[in-house]
Amino acid sequence: SDGISLTVSNNPSTNASITIGLDAEKAYQLILEKLGDQI
């Protein structure tokens, strides 16, 4: 494990509910990399 915990759930109230133990900016970049092809 690289120490990253990422949970994303799509629901009516929020497009993405994200819990992550990482620097916010790096987390955002990681999310774009992992989900960019799905958005």
Model confidence at 35, pLDDT cuts 50, 70, 90, reads confident
Higher model confidence: residue 25 or residue 19?
A: 25
Reduced to 3 states (helix: H, G, I; strand: E, B; else coil), residue 20 is coil
pTM, to two decimals:
0.34
* Range 28-34 average pLDDT: 82
- 39's tokens: 């958005």
Model confidence at 31, pLDDT cuts 50, 70, 90, reads confident
Q: What's the confidence (pLDDT) of residue 3?
A: 58
| Mean pLDDT, the chain, whole residue set | 65
Give me the residue label for tokens 């990422």: 6
- 14's tokens: 């929020």
